[in-house]
Amino acid sequence: MKRLIFLGPPGAGKGTQAQLLAASLNIPHISTGDILRAAIANSTPLGAKAQSYMDRGELVPDELILDLIQERLSQPDTQRGWILDGFPRNVSQASFLTDLLAQLNQTCDYAIDLEVPDEVLIERLLLRGRKDDNRETISRRLEVYREETAPVIGFYKDRSALKSINGNRHLDEVAQSLQDLLQTPSLT
Ligand code: ADP
């Protein structure tokens, strides 16, 4: 049973690695970005509220995200464990999650920070070419990351739950490091 949080800037490879690892552990991969993009694609009220923030590279307001996470982490499939990708994205979301997990009688095993230099991130995002992967939005997303999301790393460091991984390597090498991390005896 594993409960993991993936941290790291846009383009660090969180989504790719979270998806691979979730499949190998047979636990749900919960990406708030994917949930919001699905809401937009399905023209739901949530999608309508979230879209302009996402297009500008801003965080969607907490009130749109917190209920969504609470509801998702209360689904039966999360009893096997989970990987959170894209949440928490600021310190207030992180403390909300701590309280929510306490209510659910759960604790997170690790917050995993994928480290990648800015110039590599920009290159990767421009190649990916999602709607919000244009120069202007990318630069705003990196700014928002530094201001709001990077402090979440300190939040988990203070709680001794942080593990940092070099994300500036081939996808397979990063995946292997994650597998190795989860096989360390301290976790079993
Ligand atoms: P990336 O990490 O590459 O920026 P994501 O799919 O994680 O991609 O997020 C895309 C966008 O979705 C973000 O720029 C933000 O607008 C919104 N978003 C995703 N998760 C959250 C969250 N937890 N809180 C606020 N906004 C979020």
Domain annotation covers residue 16: yes
Q: Specify if 186 maps to a domain.
A: no
With the most atoms of ligand 1 within 8 angstroms of its CB, the residue from 54, 58, 116, 124 to mutate is: 54
- Domain tally for the chain? 1
Residue type, 16: T
- 124 CB within 6 A, ligand 1: no
104: left (phi over 0), alpha (psi -120 to 50) or beta: alpha
If you measure from the C-alpha of residue 32 to the centroid of ligand 1, how many angstroms do you get, rounded to a whole number?
7
Distance 47 CA to ligand 1 centre (A): 13
**What is the predicted pLDDT for the residue at 184?**
75
Rounded CA separation 172/178 (Å): 10
Least confident of 66-70, 146-150, 181-185: 181-185
The answer to whether residue 185 sits within a structural domain is no
- Whether residue 45 is preceded by a cis peptide bond, meaning omega within 30 degrees of 0, is no
CA 89/CA 9 separation, integer angstroms: 10
188, part of any domain: no
Residue with tokens 């306490």: 102
* DSSP letter string, 106-152: ---SEEEEEE--HHHHHHHHHHH--TT-SHHHHHHHHHHIIIIIHHH
Residue 130 pLDDT exceeds 50: yes
Q: Which residue among 63, 70, 84, 89 has the greatest number of ligand 1 atoms within 8 angstroms of its CB, and so is best to mutate?
A: 89
Assess if residue 187 is contained within a domain. no
Give CA torsion, residues 179, 66, 11, 111, to 10 deg: -30
3 neighbors 85 (Cβ within 8 angstroms):
no
Q: Is 13 inside any structural domain?
A: yes
Closest CA to 31 of 10, 45, 51, 48: 10
What is the predicted pLDDT for the residue at 15? 97
Mean pLDDT across 30-49? 98
Q: Which atom of ligand 1 is nearest to the CA of 53?
A: 16
The pLDDT of 121-131, averaged and rounded, is 96
Confidence band of 188 (pLDDT split at 50, 70, 90): very low
Mutational test site, ligand 1, from 19, 40, 59, 95, max ligand atoms within 8 Å of CB: 59
Question: Using CA atoms, how far apart are residues 18 and 170, in angstroms rounded to an integer?
Answer: 15
Kindly state whether residue 8 falls inside one of the protein's structural domains.
yes
Domain range for 100 is 2-180
Cα(121)–Cα(72) distance, integer angstroms? 29
Looking up residue 123, the CATH number of its domain turns out to be 3.40.50.300
Closest among 23, 4, 16 to 116, alpha carbons compared: 16
Q: What is the pLDDT of residue 186?
A: 58
- Name the 3-class secondary structure at 85: strand
β-sheet with 2-7: strand ranges across: 29-31, 81-85, 2-7, 110-115, 162-166
Q: Is residue 156 part of a domain?
A: yes
Question: Averaged over 76-90, what is the pLDDT?
Answer: 97
At 1, the pLDDT band (50, 70, 90 cuts) reads very high
